[in-house]
Structure 1
C-alpha cells in the first residue's frame, strides 16, 4: 500500500478505507477526518483489558485515542462527528459527555456504594465500584477545554494525559465518601474535539504536559472533493465490531476497583486477565530505535515525541476493526500514514494559528494606537477650550495672561497647555503680548483683536 493518505492507493488498500472515503464524499465531509473519527469511536468500543504490549516500561498500554478536528467555523467539524456516529451508533453504553473537571472525569467511571458489615450493622462503610467502563468525551470547541483548564486548581489536563496512557485516575482524599479512584485497565476513554486555527494555541500551549502530542489531528477540508455529489455506497461500514472482545464481567471490574490495581490481586492473570495484541517485529524495532535515541539525548520536535505511541494505538484499533488480535504489517503501514498526515495537519493548523495570532496582535495594537490618538485629541481639545474660556472670561485678558496661569486653568491636562498654546498661535487663535521670553509659561497670551 502507499505511504500517504493523499494517494488513492491508501484509500483502496482496504474495504474500510474506500467505504469511508466514498461515504464522506457523499455526505460532503472530509474522508481523512471521517476515518480518524470512526477509528476514535472504535477505540471507545475496545475493552480496557485489550492492550498493546509494553514497548517501553513494563505495563501494557490501552488503545485510548484522542482526536482534534481542525477547521474554521462552519468547516464541517460537527458534520464529521455526526456522520461518524451514524456509521457507528452503538458504543456499548459509553458515556458521551463533555468534561468539566478532572474530578468529574473520574466520576464517569467510579462510584461508591454502601457495604454491609455483618459484624457491625451500624457501620457506615462504602466500597468503590465501576459505574461505567467506557466514555467518549466530546468537546465541540477546544475553548471549552481551555476554560476548564484555566480554572484555579484544575486537574483536567493532567487527568487527560494520564487517561490517554490508561493510567490510574483520581486521588486519595481524606474522606472515604469522596475518595474516587479508577484503576489501570478499568476504563476505556476516547476524546474528540474541534479546533479552529486561531484557538490551536489552547492545545499546543500544553506541550509541556504532553497533551497535544497525544492527539491525532485531522483537517476538515477535502481538496479532491468532486463538484457533483456522489451517491452513498451500498451496505454498512465493513467492520467486524461484534468480534471485538466483550468487557470483563462487572463483578470482576468492581473487584479491580476495590483492589485499586491488578498487582494487588493474588493471581491477576487468572482473576483479571488482559488480552495483549501481537505486533510485527518491525514495530518493536522502530519503537525501540526511537527510545534509544531519546535515552542518548538526541533532540526531537517536542510535539512529535508520541508519534510512534499514537501509531501503535491506531494500528491496534485497525486490527480490532477486523476482529484480529494480531496487528500485521499492513496495519502498521496504514497507521503510520495516518499519523504522518496528522503531523502535517497539525503543522498547518499551527502555522495558520500563528498568523491569526499575529493578525490579532496587530489589530489590537492598531486599535490601542487609534484609541490612544483619539484620547490625546480629546485632551488637546479640552485644553483648547480651557484656554479660550480663560481668555474670554478674564476682563484683563487684553493685557495678556501669563502662560503658567493658563496652565493652572487646564487642570489635570495642564502638561499639554504650552504645546497647545504654540499650536493655537500658529493657527491664529491666540496672540502673544509684548516681548516674548522664549518660554510659553512666562509669556503673556491674549485673544486676537
Structure 2
C-alpha cells in the first residue's frame, strides 16, 4: 500500500541520468506515427518527445545540447524515450524495450506495475486509475504553467479504462483506492454522475439566508462550500451515454468545460440552484469503464472534442504471467498533504462571490495559484503542436494531446515525491515518461476503435443473417399456407365424384392461383390417405383420384 499521510520518501534519482548521454535529436515526424485528415492528408501524431526531440539532462532538462542526429537508439538511453517503431504493417507501435524501461524508470512505477501483476489487473490500467485518483485529491489552485504565452492549465484529468465485461475495470478502480488511500482531512468526494447539475451541486450548495431571529429571508442565498475536489467514477459508459440523451442534459457540456478549466454550472431563475464555478475553483477528474461495443458514447462526440480529452488505457493484460507474482515488498510513500499547507478552501469563498480570479482585489494574496513549471522541451513541443493546430493539421482525436501529456507529466512529478524544498518543477524526464504513456494511450485507443468496428461488423452480419433466416422462414410459411389452400381446392373439386377425376381434370377445374400446386397437393393428400388412387397412370396428371372413405 502507498502511504499518503507521512513524510516524503526521497527517491535517490538524478533526473538528468536518463538523458545525460543524449543530445537533442531530431527525427522526422513520420517516425512517430501519423493520423489522416478527412481529405486523406497525413497529419502528424505527436508522441512523447515532439518530432523526436530528446532533451539533454542539464539542469533537469531546462537547457539543450546543440548536437543533433537523425536516429536514436532507445537502448542507449537510461530512461525510456517516446519512440515508436514500425512493425512492418505500417502500424507504428511502442518499442518493447522502451515500454520495459518505462516501468523501470521510477521506483513508484515499478511498484504500481508489480502490485497490478500480483492482484491480476492490468499495470497500465492501474496506472491510469492512480493518476485520476491523485489528480482528484489535489486542490484546484495547483496549476500547470507549460508556456509563458498561455494561461495556467488545470490538473483535471479524464481516463477511459478499455475492456470487455469481465476484464476487471471495476477492480482497477478499487485497486487505486487501496494504493492511494484518502489522506486525513482531504475533502475529495467520489461521485457516480447522473446529471451535469448534480456534479456542480456536489461542490457548492446555495443556502438561504436567515434573519436575526433565524427565519429564512426570501430570495436571499449564499454559497456554502461542500468540497473543492471530486472524482467521477462510472465503470459503465452506457450509463453515461444514457445521461447524455436526457432532455436538457448538461452532462456532456460540463465534462467538456471541466477538462479545459472553464466555468461550469449555470445561473438559473431559482436562486436555490443557481451555481457557477469559475476556473481554478474546482478539481474534477473522471474515470470511465469503456466496453469497446459501447465506445460510441465517447467517439460519437469526437467532433466536439470529447474523445480527445481522454487518456485511454487497456484493462486487459495479455502479458500477465501464468504464475501469480508476489506482492511488492517495498512501501512507496507519496505525500499529497503538502499541497494543502494553506487552510482548507482558503480564499475560495471570495473567488466564488466575485465570479472570477481576475476580479479579486489582490488575487495573488486572496487566492494564490501554485504553478508547476515545465522544461524547455515541453515548451518547444507545445509551440509546435499549437502551430500545427492553428494550421488545421491536428486530427480531432489528438486535439488535446498537449494538455493530456502536460497533466500526466505533472502527476508523474507529484507521484515521484521529490525534494520538497524545490518547487514542483516538471523535468525533461517527467515529460518523456508522460510521452511514453501517451503512446500506451494511443495503443489502447486504437484497440478500442478496432474492436468496436469488429463488433459492429459482427452485429451487422448477424442482422443480415437473421433477416435472411426470417425471410426463409416467412417463405416456408407462405408456401405451406399456399399448399394447404390448394389441398382444400382439390378436395372440393372431388366431392360427390365417386368415380374420381384424373389429376389433369382436377387441375383444370382449379383457379389459376392454385393450379401450379395441384399435383403436389394430390401427392401429399394421397400420402396422408385422404385420397385414393383409382387408376394408375404414368404420372399424377394421368392417374385417376377420388376422396378416401374417411374423407
TM-score, L = length of structure 1: 0.86
C-alpha distance in structure 2 between counterparts of 1:142 and 1:117, whole Å: 46
> 2:379 aligned with 1:379, yes or no?
no
> 2:110 aligned with 1:37, yes or no?
no
Matches within 5 A, 1:16-415: 16-53=108-145, 55=147, 58-90=150-182, 92-116=186-210, 123-124=217-218, 125-246=220-341, 249-250=344-345, 252-298=347-393, 300-321=394-415, 322=417, 325-393=424-492, 395=495
| Greater helix content | 1
CA contact (8 A) 1:429 1:448 kept: no
C-alpha distance in structure 1 between counterparts of 2:225 and 2:517, whole Å: 79
SS in 2 for 1:135: strand
Output one character per residue of 1:215-267: Cα deviation in whole Å (capped at 9) or x when no partner: 11111222332222222112433323233345654362222222222122222
CA contact (8 A) 1:244 1:320 kept: no
C-alpha distance in structure 1 between counterparts of 2:277 and 2:162, whole Å: 31
User: Are the structure 2 counterparts of residues 88 and 349 from structure 1 closer, same or farther at C-alpha, using a change threshold of 3 Å?
Assistant: same
Aligned CA RMSD, in angstroms, stands at 2.9
Output one character per residue of 1:32-51: Cα deviation in whole Å (capped at 9) or x when no partner: 11112111111011110001
C-alpha distance in structure 2 between counterparts of 1:108 and 1:429, whole Å: 78
Unaligned runs of 5+ in 1: 408-417, 432-446
Output one character per residue of 1:283-324: Cα deviation in whole Å (capped at 9) or x when no partner: 1111111111221233x3221121121000111111222265
> 2:104 aligned with 1:12, yes or no?
yes
SS in 1 for 2:295: helix
C-alpha distance in structure 1 between counterparts of 2:106 and 2:405, whole Å: 18
* Bigger mean CA deviation after superposition, 246-255 or 354-363: 246-255
CA contact (8 A) 1:47 1:188 kept: yes
User: Are the structure 2 counterparts of residues 352 and 421 from structure 1 closer, same or farther at C-alpha, using a change threshold of 3 Å?
Assistant: farther
Q: CA offset at residue 122 of structure 1?
A: 7.0
How many aligned positions are there?
422
Unaligned runs of 5+ in 2: 1-78, 83-93, 526-543, 547-551
User: Are the structure 2 counterparts of residues 422 and 247 from structure 1 closer, same or farther at C-alpha, using a change threshold of 3 Å?
Assistant: farther
C-alpha distance in structure 2 between counterparts of 1:402 and 1:259, whole Å: 97
TM-score, L = length of structure 2: 0.71
* Bigger mean CA deviation after superposition, 139-148 or 239-248: 239-248
CA contact (8 A) 2:146 2:374 kept: no
C-alpha distance in structure 1 between counterparts of 2:236 and 2:313, whole Å: 14
> 2:46 aligned with 1:2, yes or no?
no
C-alpha distance in structure 2 between counterparts of 1:195 and 1:17, whole Å: 24
C-alpha distance in structure 1 between counterparts of 2:255 and 2:425, whole Å: 28
Q: CA offset at residue 378 of structure 1?
A: 1.3
C-alpha distance in structure 1 between counterparts of 2:336 and 2:447, whole Å: 34
Q: CA offset at residue 279 of structure 1?
A: 0.6
SS in 2 for 1:105: helix
C-alpha distance in structure 2 between counterparts of 1:341 and 1:363, whole Å: 33
CA contact (8 A) 2:372 2:424 kept: yes
User: Are the structure 2 counterparts of residues 429 and 278 from structure 1 closer, same or farther at C-alpha, using a change threshold of 3 Å?
Assistant: same
C-alpha distance in structure 1 between counterparts of 2:147 and 2:471, whole Å: 59
Output one character per residue of 1:119-164: Cα deviation in whole Å (capped at 9) or x when no partner: x987421022322111111111111111111223222111111111
CA contact (8 A) 1:139 1:145 kept: yes
C-alpha distance in structure 2 between counterparts of 1:396 and 1:303, whole Å: 81
